[in-house]
A and B are shown apart, each in its own frame.
Chain A
Amino acid sequence: MSADSSELHPLRHRPARHASPVPPSPPPTRQSNGNSNWRSVRARSWTGPHRDLRLLRRACRRQRRVAAFAALGYFAVFLTLTVALPSVMTAPALGGLPAGLCLALVQLPVTWLAVLFYEYTARRHVDPLARRVRHQTPHPRDEQVGP
């Protein structure tokens, strides 16, 4: 949905790298030429092509997409099977219940697992980046949106 140019040449996702609390080494692509080290990148204006923000944007997007597609996908497949292939869904499964009902009831524990997984990945991959970006934002108090 976004027209971010970094989308066209996505970096391969390496989870352990930017999630670490220590500043990561400069990426090999753009900022590795000579003196442009981590500190100078940090000092840049945040409206520019800022690295942390870009990483955060990518992490958030990935997180959102995987989570939403997994949740919606399971349900869409379930619903499609229900209405398009009723014979599959009425075949007896566990304990004589139809397979459709079993799949439906299984969704409740799966939801819990999804929530746990989401919390874990968000804490691991998104929160450290968000914290870093938050500390760089120059106008922390620009919250007041008048009516």
Chain B
Amino acid sequence: MTDFKGAAQSWSLVAFFSVVTLTLLLCVVTGPDRDDLDEFYTGYRFLSPLRNGLAIAGDYISAATVLTVGGIIALCGYDGVVLALSTLLSLLLLMFLLAEPLHHTGRFTMGDVLARRMPGRAVRITACAVTLAALVPMMVVQLAGVGQLLAYVLGFSDSTMRTGCVVGAGALMITYAALGGMRGTALIQILKTVILLGSGLVVAALILHTFGWSPPTLFRTAARNSGAGHNYLRYGLQFAGGKHPALDMVSTQCAIVLGGASLPHVTMRMYTAGSTRQVRRAMSWAVSAVALFIAVMTVVTVGATALIGAKTITAADPRGSTAYLLGARAAFGTDLSRPESLLFTTVTTAIFLTLLASVASMTLACANSLAHDIAARPDTPPLREMALARLSALAVGIPVIGLAVLSQHRSLQPLAILSFCLGASAIAPALLYSLFWRRYTRAGLLATLIGGTVSVLVLLPGTSLVSGTPQSAFPDADFNWFPFTTTALVSVPAGFLCGFVATVLSRRRSGARARNRYESIEPVLLAGPAYPKNG
């Protein structure tokens, strides 16, 4: 029931190539019409809130979410559900706290937002460096995941073909980002969200139908088939091996809640909305779409455990990355009729699109930051800056492909955690402070960004994700000294504290200047620009 042999596999192959062709075509057709910088960086001038919301949701539901969190839900039950909920909470907090100020003060990149408060090249360069440091690991995770998943679904087993899959998918994502710009990627994200939600809803309905539309039955069956019994429905399975499971869980949730939505590829979509109301409405749609998807994902992956058992899932992938696909496959039963196999192909298509699209928009966020914050000067002509942005996509993409090829056989979890922790410890404090604290100084900002990043980079290699256990990235070595799996419990306070201390120390000289600067931008920050953006 779980193999992808025969018809399902050939259908998947067809689906994959049609997705690639179609999205490439869409990218070329909808790429920026003219040599207009605004259009390349922010896409459509007035994307309607619904579409913008779907694009935000598309950016936010990355392949890492679908595959990793799906796997954790399927294998660990309760812990996975909490993880999925903190993903949702992160987007909700983005909507409540940051979306509107970001929209008001930002233009193209995170560097713009920070430089609006503290103008200067040092701020922009640091912002770009942190953007790259936070997004490159995530891109490596996704791209290596593409290789694994493609090889699994399309049935390539030898490692040359897997490497080929990684390189091919990487080349595609560079093409999307460079040709399509924000416009092309927005369209792909919308398409992806719609297909993912549509197919997911059908599959979830089928699974619930199997269990008589009763979630308790579904969860109880899953608990019975998971091999963990009642522990499946309570916390502790995910961190069972750690020294402090409770603190470990809190630390992980902290990293996801603060880091998830502050990653630059999500915040960059805030700049594309037209007015305050539109950004709010767009975020409402995005939160709703993500909430719906989390419900769907929970049902499908728990259904996978209930229908085929945890052993089959771990046999396909030890971390359960393929649980979502297996659940969808199991929902249709053993023999596929033609409409059923078509539906299943839609699910695979949605996963392919997710993998390709999320890497593409991360590439775009990195390329925009490189081009706009570092390479371009105020007097750079728009045409040249656009060429720079396209070249940057190439410059970011090629090393990422290399890293993904090198790391595809190792555990990728530390890299994903690195991204989330950097978002939570460096980017989130910097954005919160600079948007809401009027005495925040430039030294404070730099200290937050650098201090948060350094603390994550120092602590993370000591966790058990990197070394010491058979599941870690370097199972043969053992330099594990940090007691938790994520660094957020220490590095988030470190990031906030660095900013606070540096601001207090530098306040005598630059505190008054910072205050004046804040007062001059406060009306725009709170009320928005007097005319609609990009208008």
Interface hits, A131-147 → B, CB 8 Å: 131, 133-137, 140-143, 145-147
Binary interface encoding of chain A residues 99-119 relative to chain B, with 1 for a CB under 8 A from any of its CBs, else 0: 011001101100110111011
A79 is contacted by which of B82, B107, B287, B438 (Cβ under 8 Å)?
B82
A71 and B96 contact, CB distance less than 8 A: yes
Q: State in angstroms the CA–CA spacing of A144 and B81 once bound together.
A: 44
Instruction: Give the size range of B's interface with the partner.
Output: 35 or more
Provide the B106-125 mask, 1 if CB < 8 A to any CB of A, else 0. Answer: 01000110011001000010
Most chain A CB within a 10 A radius of its CB, from B219, B527, B533? B527
Asked, given contacts A108-B294, A115-B287, A119-B284, whether A57 binds B526 with beta carbons under 8 Å apart, the answer is yes
A91 to B276, CA, bound (A): 44
Q: Which of B64-72, B331-339, B373-381, B487-495 contacts A (4 or more CB under 8 A)?
A: B373-381
A47 lies within 8 A of B526 (CB)? no
Inter-chain contact B82/A104, CB cutoff 8 Å: yes
| Per-residue A-contact encoding for B233-258, CB less than 8 Å = 1, 0 else | 11110000000011001100100010
Determine whether B216 belongs to the interface, using a CB cutoff of 8 Å to chain A.
yes
A99 to B215, CA, bound (A): 14
Q: Does A38 contact B (CB under 8 A)?
A: no
What residue of chain A has the Cβ atom nearest to residue B518's Cβ?
A2
A90 CB contact (under 8 Å) in B107, B233, B291, B528 = B233
Considering only CB atoms, which chain A residue lies closest to B290 in the complex?
A111
**Known contacts A64-B97, A75-B89; A133 and B295 CB within 8 A of each other:** no
Bound Cα distance from A111 to B128, whole angstroms? 33
Contacts of B523 in A (CB 8 A): 46, 53, 133-134, 136-137
Chain A residues within 8 Å of chain B by Cβ, number:
59
Interface segment, one of A10-18, A29-37, A81-89: A81-89
Q: Are A122 and B280 in contact (CB under 8 A)?
A: yes
Residue interface bits A1-26, CB-to-B below 8 A is 1, else 0:
11110000000000000000000000
B112 touches A145 (CB 8 A): yes
B14 at the interface (CB under 8 A from A): no
Tell whether, in the assembled complex, residue B93 and residue A68 are in contact, meaning their CB atoms are under 8 Å apart.
yes
Asked whether any CB of chain B lies closer than 8 Å to the CB of A27, the reply is no
A60 engages B88 (CB within 8 Å): no
What is the CB-to-nearest-CB distance from A122 to chain B, in angstroms, rounded to a whole number? Answer: 6
Give the residue of A53, A83, A107, A112 whose beta carbon is less than 8 angstroms from that of B522: A53
Closest to A133 in B: B527
Contact at A72–B250, with CB atoms within 8 Å? Answer: no
**C-alpha spacing A132/B439, complex, angstroms:** 26
B529 within 8 A of A: yes
Least CB distance, A76 to chain B, in whole angstroms: 9
Residues of A within 8 A of B527 (CB): 56, 129-131, 133-134, 137
Given contacts A127-B276, A145-B115, contact A71 B436 (CB under 8 A): no
Contacts of B380 in A (CB 8 A): 147
In the bound complex, residues from chain A placing their C-beta under 8 Å from that of B458 are: none
Q: Are A83 and B235 in contact (CB under 8 A)?
A: yes
User: Is B484's beta carbon under 8 Å from chain A?
Assistant: no
Establish whether residues A97 and B295, one from each chain, have CB atoms under 8 Å apart when the complex forms. Answer: no
Given contacts A133-B523, A137-B524, contact A89 B235 (CB under 8 A): yes
Interface assignment of A96: CB less than 8 Å from any CB of chain B? yes
B97 touches A68 (CB 8 A): yes
The answer on a CB contact under 8 Å between B88 and A111 is yes
Say whether B526 contacts A147, CB under 8 Å: no
Q: Establish whether residues A86 and B235, one from each chain, have CB atoms under 8 Å apart when the complex forms.
A: yes
**A67 interfacial by beta-carbon distance below 8 Å:** yes
| Chain A neighbourhood of B220, CB < 8 A | 96
User: B45 interface residue, CB < 8 Å from A?
Assistant: no
Using known A-B contacts A97-B219, A145-B112, determine if residue A111 contacts B437 with beta carbons closer than 8 Å.
no
